[in-house]
Amino acid sequence: MMRVGQSIFEKTGFSLTAQYQWNMKKESRYIAGSIPDDAIFDDHYGYEGLLLSAMLTQVLPWNPVPDSIQQTRKKIFYSASL
């Protein structure tokens, strides 16, 4: 993961994050036909891909620090091996 940030105004900051998830095991963790097709897309580990994120942070006078985050993720799923 790589993150860079910069103050753009007084009490306002902006950061960019890039993270690539890489899996050493390239096959699906499921036996073909043992799980519904739509459930495979909820697998948090059976893919690899890039996550890009941009965050804007503003320090307010009454202490809370709200963040505005925009993310995009490209997932490459592995097919089941027979």
pLDDT digits (tens, 9 = 90+) for 28-81: 555 555 666 555 555 666 678 888 999 998 888 887 777 888 888 887 776 655
Q: Is residue 18 part of a domain?
A: yes
Q: Computed over its alpha carbons, how large is the radius of gyration of the chain?
A: 19
Q: Is residue 56 part of a domain?
A: yes
Q: Which domain holds residue 12?
A: 2-77
Q: Is residue 42 part of a domain?
A: yes
Q: Is residue 82 part of a domain?
A: no
Name the DSSP letter for residue 30.
S
Count of domains in the chain?
1
Residues 6+ positions from 79 with CB-CB distance below 8 Å: 28
* 3-class secondary structure per residue, 31-50: CCCCCCHHHHCCCCCCEEEE
Q: Is residue 71 part of a domain?
A: yes
Q: Is residue 26 part of a domain?
A: yes
What's the whole-model pTM score? 0.62
